[in-house]
């Protein structure tokens, strides 16, 4: 198939393309085409969705993973389960929708890293519905408002593996929604901000989104292929009626609006309601739709977000809890990283506390846990794979001075190896004291031998000797190393002297 490069002719190109497509597409004998799938015993896509989950089951599932945020967990679990039960009822016995019925789209207010996205993702996973996340600021920045928000819906179909019916029950999460509030002026970015709000509004209510868009080459080729096969152009569409929208943002400045309104009301009713000393998040608990409108949202937009939840800030204790949780992805993923090099990773309790404290100071919620862990572990992750160290316990000292502790660990590694070897051979745990470690280090340098060989040499009689005195554990001190033979003799003598007295 060659196109005459001298005189490119669109008609010729189209003819060749059509020929080629026919070759590619024409069903081979014996192979059933996609379109003949009527009698395939295929699962209804909606059967993958757990429509029948109960609020408390979902809440219990969230409790396994998410620390704190009890109110958010309860409200979201309840409203989302009800949403799916409503769909289920409608599928079973189609009824006319109640006019003006609003689906429980959700607004989540809370600072960074406290679990907003995490909770919704977990819910989608438990329900078996596709989840996509977008960023509200992306829509206004690209300039062509309109097409973009619909991309979220198309992404949902992609996330559902092309299963349009399943995508219809998906969840769309839009972050940084507070950034598309208008600031009250009518020029500049505000026009596009309210534009984005209106476009989202359309999706949040009910609209049909075309799955084929001009700028998506693949979907265009698909359309052409289908045309060749069937002679029809089918417009693939998805209805957004059941798609649930979750909007989230930090909403800085909103608490001032809430405070002002509450104070005015307090004056109006002649009641004293003290908001002084209340934290930002505590004040935000009182947020009302009118506050969101004053913040810069269209009233229709606010009207489509009937569920508002305010999340808690996470304390040091909460961060510590997150690390301690056996389902903590932070700790588990670090363990896995080290395991990939054959190294067992453990954390002491105090080390976890230090990590939580340090992360808390960064003010990015649980997000900082990952970065603090990475900082502490990086030198080890780099160095240990090329050593014989096979076990690492993260200690408090390591969190404070990772490089220094790594150096120490490497210095001590030969002795630790000897301890391990001795335990395997004799079943007795040796423990070298700090001074003993230093002594071995200096002495092996002086004698120009390896530390582990020096240990083997000096303590060669100890396997037998310590068994004579029924020792299960033994501390190797400087005194032992300076005169191993004499020390062991005295030990054995005094053991038998005691035994016979």
Ligand X SMILES: Nc1ncnc2c1ncn2[C@@H]1O[C@H](COP(=O)(O)OP(=O)(O)OP(=O)(O)O)[C@@H](O)[C@H]1O
Look at residue 76 and give the partner it binds from Mg ion, ligand X, none, a contact being a CB closer than 5 to 8 Å depending on partner kind: none
Rank residues 197 and 248 by Cβ distance to Mg ion and give the closer one.
248
Work out the burial of residue 38: count CB atoms within 10 Å of its CB; fewer than 13 is exposed, 13-18 middle, 19 or more buried: exposed
Q: Is 228 in the site for Mg ion (CB under 5 A)?
A: no
Q: Which of 49, 53, 62, 66 binds ligand X (CB under 6 A)?
A: 66
SS in 3 state form for 199-257? HHHHHHCCCEEECCCCCCHHHHHHHHHHHHHHCCCCCCEEECCCCEEEEEECCCCHHHH
Q: Which of 149, 366, 436, 488 binds ligand X (CB under 6 A)?
A: 366
Q: Is 395 in the site for Mg ion (CB under 5 A)?
A: no
CB of 246 to ligand X, least distance (A): 10
CB of 76 to ligand X, least distance (A): 12
> Residue 164 and residue 494: Cα distance in Å, rounded?
83
CB of 323 to ligand X, least distance (A): 9
Largest CA distance in the chain: 114
Q: Is 116 in the site for ligand X (CB under 6 A)?
A: yes
Rank residues 322 and 430 by Cβ distance to ligand X and give the closer one.
322
Q: Which of 48, 74, 78, 117 binds Mg ion (CB under 5 A)?
A: 117
CB of 284 to ligand X, least distance (A): 14
Look at residue 199 and give the partner it binds from ligand X, Mg ion, none, a contact being a CB closer than 5 to 8 Å depending on partner kind: none
The encoded tokens of residue 264 equal 């005015």
Q: Which of 150, 155, 159, 175 binds ligand X (CB under 6 A)?
A: 175
CB of 248 to ligand X, least distance (A): 6
Number of residues that bind ligand X (CB under 6 A): 18
CB of 115 to Mg ion, least distance (A): 9
CB of 339 to ligand X, least distance (A): 19
Rank residues 16 and 121 by Cβ distance to ligand X and give the closer one.
121
The helix (H) or strand (E) run that includes residue 485 is: helix 484-500
How many of the other CB atoms lie within 10 Å of CB of 501?
5
Rank residues 363 and 463 by Cβ distance to Mg ion and give the closer one.
363
CB of 125 to ligand X, least distance (A): 12
The encoded tokens of residue 17 equal 């393309």
> Residue 220 and residue 229: Cα distance in Å, rounded?
14
Q: Are strands 208-210 and 237-239 parallel, antiparallel or unpaired?
A: antiparallel
CB of 54 to Mg ion, least distance (A): 27
Q: Is 67 in the site for ligand X (CB under 6 A)?
A: yes
DSSP 21-76: HHHHHSPPTTPPPGGGGGG--PPPGGGGS-TT--HHHHHHHHHHH--S-HHHHHHH
Q: Which of 62, 83, 106, 115 binds ligand X (CB under 6 A)?
A: 115
Which residue is listed with tokens 């505000």?
Answer: 190
Site residues for ligand X, window 243-302 (CB under 6 A)? none
> Residue 282 and residue 297: Cα distance in Å, rounded?
22
Stretch that binds ligand X, among 92-100, 115-123, 134-142, 353-361 (CB under 6 A): 115-123
> Residue 499 and residue 501: Cα distance in Å, rounded?
6
- For 211, 251, 409, the CA distances from 247, given in Å and listed in that order, are 23, 11, 48
Site residues for ligand X, window 19-48 (CB under 6 A)? none
Q: Is 329 in the site for ligand X (CB under 6 A)?
A: yes
Q: Is 78 in the site for ligand X (CB under 6 A)?
A: no
- For 35, 51, 87, 129, 201, the CA distances from 46, given in Å and listed in that order, are 20, 9, 11, 9, 25
- For 66, 117, 178, 239, 318, the CA distances from 113, given in Å and listed in that order, are 12, 9, 16, 32, 12
Look at residue 329 and give the partner it binds from Mg ion, ligand X, none, a contact being a CB closer than 5 to 8 Å depending on partner kind: ligand X
Residues at the site binding Mg ion, with contacts judged by CB under 5 A: 117
Residues at the site binding ligand X, with contacts judged by CB under 6 A: 66-69, 110, 112-118, 175, 322, 329, 365-367
């Amino acid at each position: 198939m060659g196109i005459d490069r001298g005189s490119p002719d669109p008609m010729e190109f189209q003819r060749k393309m059509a020929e080629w497509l026919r070759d590619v597409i024409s069903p081979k004998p014996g192979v059933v085409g996609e379109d003949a799938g009527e009698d395939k015993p295929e699962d209804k896509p909606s059967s993958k969705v757990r429509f029948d989950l109960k609020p408390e089951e979902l809440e219990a599932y969230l409790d396994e993973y998410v620390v704190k945020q009890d109110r958010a967990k309860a409200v979201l679990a309840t409203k989302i389960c009800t949403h799916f039960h409503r769909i289920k009822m409608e599928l079973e016995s189609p009824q006319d929708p109640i006019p003006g019925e609003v689906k429980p789209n959700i607004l989540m207010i809370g600072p960074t890293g406290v679990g907003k996205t995490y909770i919704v993702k977990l819910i989608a996973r438990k329900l078996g519905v596709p989840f996509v996340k977008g960023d509200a600021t992306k829509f206004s920045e690209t300039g062509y408002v309109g097409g973009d928000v619909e991309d979220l819906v198309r992404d949902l179909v992609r996330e559902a593996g092309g299963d349009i019916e399943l995508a219809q029950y998906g969840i769309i999460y839009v972050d940084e929604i507070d950034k598309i509030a208008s600031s009250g002026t009518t020029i500049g970015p505000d026009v596009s901000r309210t534009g984005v709000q209106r476009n989202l509004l359309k999706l949040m209510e009910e609209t049909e989104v075309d799955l084929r868009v001009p700028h998506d080459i693949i979907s265009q080729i698909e359309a052409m292929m289908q045309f060749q096969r069937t002679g029809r152009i089918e417009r693939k569409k998805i209805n957004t009626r059941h798609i649930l929208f979750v909007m989230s943002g930090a909403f800085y400045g909103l608490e001032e609006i809430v405070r002002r309104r509450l104070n005015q009301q307090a004056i109006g009713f002649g009641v004293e309601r003290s908001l002084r000393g209340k934290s930002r998040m505590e004040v935000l608990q009182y947020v009302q739709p009118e506050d969101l409108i004053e913040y810069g949202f269209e009233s229709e937009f606010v009207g489509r977000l009937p569920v508002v939840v305010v999340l808690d800030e996470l304390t040091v204790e909460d961060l510590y809890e997150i690390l301690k949780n056996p389902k903590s992805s932070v700790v588990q993923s670090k363990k896995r990283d080290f395991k990939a090099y054959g190294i067992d990773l453990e954390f002491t309790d105090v080390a976890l506390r230090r990590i939580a404290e340090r992360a808390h100071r960064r003010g990015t919620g649980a997000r900082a846990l990952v970065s603090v862990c990475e900082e502490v572990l990086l030198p080890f992750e780099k160095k240990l794979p090329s050593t014989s160290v096979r076990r690492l316990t993260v200690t408090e000292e390591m969190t404070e001075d990772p490089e220094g502790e790594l150096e120490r660990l490497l210095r001590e590694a030969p002795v630790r190896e000897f301890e391990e070897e001795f335990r395997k051979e004799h079943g007795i745990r040796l423990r070298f004291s700090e001074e003993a470690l230093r002594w071995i280090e200096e002495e092996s340098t002086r004698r120009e031998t390896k530390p582990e060989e020096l240990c083997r040499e000096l303590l060669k009689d100890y396997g037998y000797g310590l068994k004579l005195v029924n020792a299960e554990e033994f501390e190797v001190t400087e005194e032992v190393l300076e005169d191993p033979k004499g020390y062991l003799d005295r030990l054995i003598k005094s053991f038998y002297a005691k035994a016979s007295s």
